Structure 1
Amino acid sequence: MPSVQGVILDIDGTLVDSNDAHARAWVRAFGDEGLDVPFERVRSLVGMGGDQLVPEVLGIGQDSARYARVKEGWKTHFVAEELARVRSQPGTRELVAGLRSRGLKVIIGTSADESLVQGLLERAELADADLPFTTASDVEASKPEPDIILAAVERLALAPDEVLMVGDTPFDVQAAQKAGVRTVFLTCGGDTRHEGAYAVYRDPADLARHLDDL
């Protein structure tokens, strides 16, 4: 197996504690349409991009006017009501520094829209880390499809088996598997559905302490 040369980092749940916040924003966006969607239903799907989550919940296509309204409503609610309360997961800066000190290339690969990335990196205490990123805005389909992972691998100029994905939902694992990339799963996002992951750690701080074990 080739040695690891690069790492793709998810943001939501992995670097910041935003998964519940996203779920609350989605519930409000559905509510704006007169739809009573339980928090638990939405929470189980966080990690998907909106292009996947809305059709999964409502059974409608992306060409639907309701799809566009719900997706925009989620973003509005998240930025206005949730983003300021999002906090960094433990050890984000230590993890990025540890990866770079070992000569690894690091890139963000997230199902979030590009317009949200800078705010999320600020909450992760990584605004000054100069991290490149690929987002749902760059590809046709978000996680659990492999497009974001494949785009990140291409930007790293590496082969998939030289790259690790660090994520916190089963959709990270599924997307990475489809792209031929191994996943390191962090449970700090509140999900334990890590079947298929290469390794499991608690949070960025825990992973940072075990980088030499990978």
Structure 2
Amino acid sequence: MALQAVLLDIDGTLVLSNDAHAQSWVDAFREFGYDVSFEQVRSLIGMGGDQLIPRVVPGLTDEEGDGGAIAQRRKEIFLKHYAPKLSPANGARQLIQHMLQTGLRLIVASSASNQEMEVLLKAAQVDDLLKVTTTSSDAEASKPAPDIVEAALSKLNKPPNQVLMLGDTPYDIKSANMAGVGAIALRCGGFDDATLAGAKAIYDDPADLLAHYADSPLGKNA
């Protein structure tokens, strides 16, 4: 079937925020006495706190005790210290505009909180273009679980074979594929091609995808 809609990750895909998220986690863990390296956390960015926290410190969860406090503190640190300095990914707004002009329906499929989502969309300079989103409140488990993608499909009321997902982490790809949705990956989130295996195609950033749009899975399935 012809492509009808695109699910959009935002962190690392439309806004260059992955390093900022990683450092926010490191800062928050440190405040609670956990010595966690940037490298240890960076490879897990793309997961929500429910997935990341127990991988970094086994036994902790994002719902109670230190884990819950760390998750809350991480959000506060990110919003106060790092979010104001974020930059959009190269070509993010132009790609979104082009997809809308072709008639595609767009929905943000992210594990970000509602508060973070508002900030991230503004940082990506697409807050006036993207009005439909899924956030952490729409899914029980974050990526790489398929919940976020399935929630987005439900909001769109579209079958998986009419939809593609645009993301930047292996967790986006796994989440999409588990829900039956094909994925396009971008390198601007900082993951290499080997970790992005499973994507239908890989591009440097939104501008690169836009430059090759006609030959991309987006253009070929139009």
* TM-score for both structures, normalised by structure 2: 0.93
Gaps of 5+ in 1: none
Quick check: 1:70 aligned with 2:107? Answer: no
Please state how far the C-alpha of 1:131 moved relative to its aligned partner. Answer: 2.4
Counterpart residue identity of residue 150, structure 1: E
Q: Equivalents in 2 of 1:63, 1:144: separation in Å?
A: 18
3-state SS of 2:6 partner? strand
Q: Measure the CA separation in 2 of the matches of 1:24 and 1:130.
A: 27
Deviation at 1:154, TM superposition (A): 1.2
1:19 aligns to what?
A: 18
- Following superposition, the deviation at residue 211 of structure 1 comes to 2.4
Alpha-carbon distance in structure 2 between the residues aligned to 1:63 and 1:122: 28
Equivalent position amino acid for 1:205 in 2: A
Q: Distance in 1 between matches of 2:203 and 2:45?
A: 19
Partner of 1:210: 212
Q: Deviations over 1:86-139 (max 9, x none)?
A: 100111111111111111110101121121001100000012114210011211
1:170-189 equivalence runs, <5 A: 170-189=170-189
- 2:197 alignment partner, one of 195, 199, 211: 195
Q: Aligned partner of 1:155: which letter?
A: K
1:113 aligns to what? 113
Amino acid at match of 1:81: H
Aligned residues: 213
For the residue of structure 2 that corresponds to 1:171, the secondary structure is helix
Aligned to 1:103: 103
Question: Which amino acid in 1 is paired with 2:200?
Answer: Y
Displacement of 1:142 in angstroms is: 0.5
| CA displacement at 1:65 relative to structure 2 | 1.1
Alignment TM-score, normalising by the size of structure 1: 0.97
Evaluate the alpha carbon distance shift between residue 88 and residue 62 of structure 1 in structure 2; reply closer, same or farther with a 3 A threshold: closer
> Partner of 2:202: helix, strand, or coil?
strand
Q: Distance in 2 between matches of 1:138 and 1:82?
A: 25
Counterparts of 1:61 and 1:67, CA distance in 2 = 5
1:90 corresponds in structure 2 to: 90
User: In 2, Cα distance between the equivalents of 1:142 and 1:6?
Assistant: 21
Shift of 1:173: 0.5
Instruction: Determine helix, strand or coil for the equivalent of 2:126.
Output: coil
**1:10 matches 2:12:** no
Residue 81 of structure 1 and its aligned partner are, at CA, apart by: 0.7
Cα distance in 2 for residues equivalent to 1:35 and 1:48: 19
Structure 1 residues 7-65: Cα deviation after superposition (integer angstroms, max 9, x where no partner): 01100000011000000000000001111001000000000001111111111234431
Aligned-CA RMSD value: 1.0
Aligned-partner Cα distance in 2 for 1:64–1:150: 26
Unaligned segments of structure 2, at least 5 residues: 218-222
For residues 83 and 49 of structure 1, the distance between their equivalents in structure 2, rounded to whole angstroms, comes to 17
